[in-house]
Structure 1
Amino acid sequence: MRSFETDQLRTFVVVADSGSLSAAAPRLFLSQSSVSEQLRKLEERAGVSLLKRGKKGAVLTPAGVRLLDYARRILTLNELAMAELHGQSLDGELRLAVTDYFRPGEIAGMLRRLRDRYPYLKLHVTVMKSAAIDAAADMDAFDIGLGMRLVGSGAQSRSAARGGVVLRREELAWVAAPEVAEAATETLPLVLLPDTCSMHQFVVQLLIRRKRTFDIAHSASGVAGLHLALAAGLGVSCLNASAIGPGVQPLDAAAVAKWKLPALPSAEFYLLGARRGESEFIGQARQALAEQFG
């Protein structure tokens, strides 16, 4: 029986995660034609079609969905075996603080894949507001913090000066349920997290500077609650791209103009830089997190 080649499986997984061959190519350090050839050989070896290619990118076929989970496990075991042989496996307890704006619909799967790759790593995850992560950067509340900062907003965090590992940058957008997007009112009904949230503080200050009348229509304790309130039609908010879920949509240019809303900066997600005297284990864990979450 013929077996799969790991290079082809890796290409397949990256294409599935990226959504298209063109987006996957730079992540694989390959040309788009080389990515296409790798996938062709994989489908030939598998004997079934794994991806449907179209103008909107690459979509998994039912067979592709089944193979994807196996491919992840095969690649994880391969990396785990190599790490074990070279003494590079992470073994210990790690306290991770994560802003709840960071890819809320994907974070559970990302943590599962991290656990699969490093089975001896005991991970304790706490969801915190970015401002709280920043404030506790030099304390012993966690080992590694994953925060969010707004780019080009003029706001500076304590951790920004210390650097860190930037994971991704996302656009911010004004968002609401479809029926709310079309029903602009003189007073903007805002749905936000409490005023301890840096996003809350930024949005309120921005609207005050622009002299846009608003009212806090609903205050949610976390991003999940914020999304439920938005989907229920309670008002308008500001979210990063990966935090926008079902029932909520970015306001288009016409709706933004109708609601008289100002332009927004982008958001940057980053792992806080190393503390003085940080252990080698935490440094290795930060590198592993950057690879998994980037």
Structure 2
Amino acid sequence: MRNLDITTLRSFVAVADNGGVTRAAGFLHLTQSAVSMQLKRLEELLGLELLDRSGRGIALTASGEQLLAYARRMVALNDEVIGRLTDQAFEGEVVLGVPHDIVYPAIPRVLQTFNANYPRVNVNLATSNTRQLKEEFNRGTYDLILTTETGEGEGAETIHHMPLRWVGARNGSAWRQRPLRLGFCRICSFRPVALSALEEAGIEWELGLDSDSDRTVEATVSADLAVGVLLEGTQPGHQELIDHGGALPRLPVQHINLYGADRVREKYVEELAELIRQSFSALRPSHIRAVV
């Protein structure tokens, strides 16, 4: 098997573009003898005469003209591969905001696919709560954000629905106690939803924990000292969905909303938004079963 050498092809293209070995050597920062030797090796490899040396200058033969088109493409492709895989300079950035509880499993897959398609675009991922994400988005901090909301927010695109469920410690009993002890972060968007449902159902409750830390809430609920509310499928392994048989009120399905996709200007931001849509639509069937 005979293999063409990119360095030799580059010299051949330079000779064709510059009209001779002398100028090509200067362009390539090589000696004339080095360029001439590369051309000779190329002709010997192919068994063809590529240059017509009968005149005062150098011209391409018919075979040389045919090779030139291939050589340009091969050199350009080589340079593209090297540049894409080794150049770490970013050519663009997308700032994406996502609530803590819906980062997994969709977002890592989105980022992996996007990076393969746009390796020189940096995605700056920030996680927060829905309220803060919307406030920062309105101030222009983010290009795209996801939110969890009871309805479709103004200017938002609903890309998925997820049931909101009561959660507690594995084999726990805190959900049976009255008043019901609750564990929520102060800024949790699910907190007013759960409190409204309890009030409407006439169930007494008290805050067993009022913290700014998601980890503190998680530990308290996991210790069976309170119950919490999470999107179905996002509960950690040391918690479980409470099978309360109707003792607790039904909670509304949450909209996963995408903001910003209607005002993007860069193609790669549109691509990121589409990958987010596809990833969430693949999580589960679009219909939501009735839950209690």
TM bin (shorter chain):
0.5 to 0.7
Question: Which of residues 264, 270, 274 is equivalent to 1:283?
Answer: 270
User: Helix, strand or coil for the counterpart of 2:197?
Assistant: helix
Question: Which of residues 162, 174, 179 is equivalent to 2:166?
Answer: 174
The residue type equivalent to 1:168 in the other structure is H
Aligned pair in 2 of structure 1 residues 101, 226: CA closer, same or farther (>3 Å)?
Answer: same
The residue type equivalent to 1:197 in the other structure is C
Aligned pair in 2 of structure 1 residues 241, 223: CA closer, same or farther (>3 Å)?
Answer: farther
| 1:169-208 alignment runs, 5 A limit | 169-181=161-173, 184-194=176-186, 196-208=187-199
Aligned partners of 1:104 and 1:242 also within 8 Å: no
How far does residue 293 in structure 1 lie from its aligned partner after superposition? 4.3
| 1:88-107 alignment runs, 5 A limit | 92-104=92-104, 107=107
Aligned pair in 2 of structure 1 residues 169, 225: CA closer, same or farther (>3 Å)?
Answer: farther
Deviations 1:238-271 (A, max 9, x none): 11112112111111143x42xxx21111112121
How far does residue 202 in structure 1 lie from its aligned partner after superposition? 1.5
Determine if the alignment matches structure 1 residue 236 to structure 2 residue 227: yes
Aligned pair in 2 of structure 1 residues 283, 107: CA closer, same or farther (>3 Å)?
Answer: closer
Give the Cα separation in 2 of the matches to 1:108 and 1:143: 18
Q: What is the TM-score with the length of structure 1 in the denominator?
A: 0.57
Aligned partners of 2:106 and 2:276 also within 8 Å: no
Determine if the alignment matches structure 1 residue 251 to structure 2 residue 242: yes
| 1:20-169 alignment runs, 5 A limit | 92-104=92-104, 107-108=107-108, 110-151=110-151, 160-164=153-157, 166-169=158-161
How far does residue 275 in structure 1 lie from its aligned partner after superposition? 5.8
Aligned pair in 2 of structure 1 residues 233, 182: CA closer, same or farther (>3 Å)?
Answer: closer
The residue type equivalent to 1:146 in the other structure is L
User: Helix, strand or coil for the counterpart of 2:115?
Assistant: helix
User: Helix, strand or coil for the counterpart of 1:235?
Assistant: coil
How far does residue 109 in structure 1 lie from its aligned partner after superposition? 5.1
Determine if the alignment matches structure 1 residue 221 to structure 2 residue 212: yes
Aligned partners of 2:169 and 2:221 also within 8 Å: yes
Give the Cα separation in 1 of the matches to 2:253 and 2:213: 20
Give the Cα separation in 2 of the matches to 1:146 and 1:174: 22
The residue type equivalent to 1:280 in the other structure is E
Aligned partners of 1:103 and 1:243 also within 8 Å: no
Aligned partners of 2:168 and 2:222 also within 8 Å: yes
Aligned partners of 1:181 and 1:251 also within 8 Å: no
Structure of greater Rg: 2
* Count of residues in Structure 1 that have an aligned counterpart in Structure 2: 193
The residue type equivalent to 1:217 in the other structure is G
Q: Which runs of 5+ in 1 are unaligned?
A: 1-80, 85-89, 152-156
Deviations 1:135-175 (A, max 9, x none): 33332111100111125xxxxx6xx23132x3321111111
Aligned partners of 1:138 and 1:275 also within 8 Å: no
Q: Which runs of 5+ in 2 are unaligned?
A: 1-80, 85-89, 282-292
User: Helix, strand or coil for the counterpart of 1:226?
Assistant: helix
The residue type equivalent to 1:93 in the other structure is E
Give the % identical residues.
18
**Cα root mean square deviation, aligned:** 2.8
| Equivalent residue, structure 1, for 2:288 | none
Aligned partners of 2:169 and 2:224 also within 8 Å: yes
Q: What is the TM-score with the length of structure 2 in the denominator?
A: 0.57
Aligned partners of 2:110 and 2:276 also within 8 Å: no
